[in-house]
Amino acid sequence: MKHVIVRALAAGAVGCVVGICDAHPSRSVAVLDDGAVIVPDAVRSVIWKVGTDGRVTPFARNVHTHWLCHTTDGSIIAEHLEYDPASERFSQSLLRISPDGGRVEIVAPAAGSARFSAFIVREDGSILHAPEDGTPCIIRRDPDGGSSIFVQTTSAVPFAHVTAMASGPNGTCFFTDQRGIFVLDATGHVSRLIEILPLNEQRVTEPSFVKEGELWGLSADDQGAMVVADPHARRVWRIDPTGESAIVFTSESPWFPTGVSSSRGRVYVVEHGLEGERNHGPRVRIVEADGTNRELATITE
């Protein structure tokens, strides 16, 4: 599935080159302090804001993003992918969008830099991200623009291409590959928390946009409990800090969970529906602490 980016992101801000961009479903969602939900929509190149009453409004248009997160000041940090038909190449920028969505600016990396997939922004302003080329490592980008490998696979704690990342308590970071979920502390020490294989034993489907074994949409709370989306099996898992896991939500066909976030005891799930070449949604559901769930909004524009 393809989508065309045609206009500037915002007046006086970042420009987009006309071209075609891959439009796989986005893999993230952010919940603001007031309960509003920020939903990336890579198919339409829009970031949406969904109020607690389910009202949907555009937060930022012409931003082609799969990954975003919010900062303590209420800003949204989002990666943005654009295509240059002259060079026939994609380039990527990391954008900071003001809390009201009115200002968009490039923070890092500059257009033309090597592309990345999952990322987190740390309290010191540095960025940890996974390279999109599949290299099994996590790269640190400092506020001054310098970069270095922060951690890489080892024989003691092997991991493959990182597919999702989430900030945890006390400067920790959680990440997934096709094998397990890992904990990365502030010093760069990695440990394996849980094997993915037990989570994948009862797959019910295999959407074409997900590689075999991938988990998406990782999120962690202040206590280190995580939720993670398993699109292949249409399930969302909750994993406590000891590694114990339980299913908290199951999507109904043709929907798949692709992004998750936890806030105040609730789990927020972004789903995409896939029927042939048709992509429905995104749709936002809320799972309460007692296991009940409800639809907050379905975006159909």
Tokens linked to 174? 């959680």
pLDDT in tens, the chain (301 residues): 332 222 233 333 344 433 333 457 888 999 999 999 999 998 899 999 999 999 999 999 999 999 999 888 889 999 998 877 888 887 888 899 999 998 888 876 544 456 778 999 998 888 999 988 889 999 998 888 788 999 999 999 999 889 899 999 989 999 998 778 999 999 999 999 888 655 555 555 555 556 655 788 899 988 889 999 988 888 999 998 888 889 999 999 889 999 999 998 899 999 998 877 677 889 999 999 999 999 999 998 6
Cα-based angle 37, 92, 61 (whole degrees, multiple of 5)? 40
Write down the H helix ranges in 94-162.
Answer: none
| pTM of structure | 0.86
Give CA–CA dist 238/249, Å, rounded.
9
Residues 285, 193, 151, 130: what is their CA dihedral angle, to the nearest 10 degrees? -20
Contact 259, 29 (CB under 8 A): yes
What end-to-end distance do the CA atoms of the chain give, in Å? 17
The CATH number of domain 2-298 is 1.20.1560.10: no
Domain ranges of the chain: 2-298
| Residue 251 exposed, middle or buried by CB count within 10 Å (0-12, 13-18, 19+) | buried
